[in-house]
Amino acid sequence: MSEPAVAGLDETLAALADPVRRRAVELLAERPRRSGELARDLGATPSVMSKHLRVLRQCGLVTETHQEFDARVRIYALRSAPMAELRRWLDLAERAWAEQLTAFAAHLARDADLERGADLERGADLERGADLEGDG
């Protein structure tokens, strides 16, 4: 990932670390909403919601528009690009973990096979020992 992409991802993750902002993003994924509607649905005061929306806007997760007939009403919408970048990063992390876990599972299987082989060998040795004792 490029340096700007990493910085953008860091900002996105930092913004999503807050549960109120995560819930706001979930609501905005359904459809654009007014700031007052978000505040009501999230149980936040308008001033607290404004601060959360500012963080989401500054990191590029949401856009803000005004209605033509009333500039005081702000409509927020989710931007797909930062979420797509986050998804790409999560896919990379998931692949890396899957590779590590697959290698670990193969290692455990090899160890188990070796252990089974050693158990079989010990069993054969015990049988040979019993045969020798019986012959004696």
Are 65 and 74 spatial neighbours (Cβ–Cβ below 8 Å)? yes
Domain ranges for the chain, please list them. Answer: 3-78, 95-136
pTM (two decimals): 0.65
* Cα→Cα distances 81→15, 17, 92, Å: 15, 18, 17
3-78 to CATH, choices 1.10.1040.50, 3.40.430.10, 1.10.10.10, 2.130.10.10:
1.10.10.10
65-109 residue pLDDT tens: 987 878 788 999 999 888 888 888 888 888 888 888 888 888 888
Contact 74, 30 (CB under 8 A): no
User: What gap in Å lies between CA 57 and CA 10, rounded to an integer?
Assistant: 14
Query: Which residue is it, tokens 């599972």?
Result: 105
Tokens of 135: 């012959």
Quick: pLDDT tens for 67-77.
787 878 899 99
